[in-house]
Amino acid sequence: MPGFLRARKRSQASRILNDLGMIDSALDQYAIENNKKTSDPVATADWPSYVKKGSPLYNTGNSLFGTGYGPQTVDQIPQVPSNDYNVLSDVAGTGFWSPYGP
C-alpha cells in the first residue's frame, strides 16, 4: 500500500510539473500576441486561454489540488504553489521541480 500511495503522489507531482510547463508556454504566447515586455504582469484571467481548451488548467487555472496558480509575470518562470510543494515534498524534492521549484 505505501508503494501505491507514493506512486500516486509522484504522478500528481508530474501533473503539476506539466501544468507549470504549459503555463510557461502560455505566458510566452500571450506576451507575443499582446505585445507585452519583460516583467509585465499577466492576470489569472488572461493566461489560461493559451493552454489546451477543455483541460482542467484551461477551465480553472488551478492545480489538481485546487490551488490557484495565480497571476504570472512575462519572462519569469512560474513556480510550484507552496501548498502543493508541501503536500508532495516527500516524493518530489527540490531537484524534481527544476526549473519551477521553490
Q: Are 48 and 61 in contact (CB under 8 A)?
A: yes
Per-residue pLDDT at 46: 95
pLDDT digits (tens, 9 = 90+) for 44-84: 999 999 999 999 999 999 999 999 999 999 999 999 999 99
Q: Distance between the two ends of the chain, CA-based, in angstroms? A: 29
What pLDDT does 1 receive? 66
> Distance between CA atoms of 89 and 82, rounded to whole angstroms?
10
Short-list 95, 101, 35, 47, CA closest to 73: 47
Contacts of 69 (CB under 8 A, 6+ apart): 19, 20, 23, 44, 57, 61, 62, 63, 78, 81
Read off the pTM: 0.92
